[in-house]
A = this chain, B = another copy of it.
Amino acid sequence: MAIDRLDGRLIELLAQEPRIGVLEASRRLGVARGTVQARLDRLQAQGVIRGFGPDVDPAALGYPVTAFATLEIKQGQGSDVRTHLATVPEVLELHTITGHGDMLCRLVARSNADLQRVIDRVVGFEGIVRASTAIVMENAVPLRIIPLVRAASDG
C-alpha cells in the first residue's frame, strides 16, 4: 500500500528531471533497470502516479490572474451547478466543501477587469445564491508534492 524509500527517491527524481528515461533513472538510483521499470509500473497501477501530463502555466497562456471563489448553492442544485461550472474554461477546479451547500472553485482570468466577466459567468446561474471572491496576490508556495512524498516514504 504505502511507498518505500526507493519509490520516494524515484518520484523525486522524476519530479526533478521529468524527461529522464527508465535507463538513466536506474543509473542515478543505483538499481537495475528492471527494478525501476517494475516500480514505475506498480506506482502507476496503484494510482500513486496518475500520469505525466504537461504542467501548463495559465499565466503564460495569458491568464495571469488567479482567484478563489466560495459559492453558496441553493438546496438540491448542486448537480446543476457542477455541470454549469464544468463548462466554464476559466474554472480550473471545483470542490464541494463543508458548510451549508458551499463550493470552492479556483478561477483564472486575463486581468482584474476580465475576472469580473468570469465571475459574472460563474454566478450567472440560478442555483447560486451568493459568491465571495478572493484574488490571489502571491503564490507563496506553488503546488508541490515532494515534501509529502518524503514524509510518506520516510525518505
Contacts and interface: CB of A to CB of B under 8 A. Distances in A.
Interface stretch (A10-18, A27-35, A123-131): A10-18
A135 interface: yes
Interface in A50-72: 50-63, 66, 68
Contacts of A104: 68, 134, 136
Contacts of A102: 134
B140 A103 contact: yes
A138 interface: yes
A126 B54 CA distance: 39
Contact of A55 (B53, B106, B147): B53
Nearest to A105: B141
Interface of A: 1-3, 11, 14-15, 18-19, 46-63, 66, 68, 82, 85-86, 88-99, 102-106, 108, 134-145, 147-152
Given A47-B60, A88-B147, A90-B151, 7 more contacts: A18-B53, A48-B61, A50-B55, A50-B57, A52-B52, A85-B141, A93-B141
24 contacts: A1-B62, A11-B56, A14-B53, A18-B51, A48-B57, A49-B54, A49-B57, A52-B54, A61-B148, A63-B152, A68-B97, A85-B141, A86-B141, A89-B148, A89-B151, A91-B141, A92-B141, A93-B139, A94-B139, A95-B139, A95-B140, A96-B139, A98-B134, A104-B134
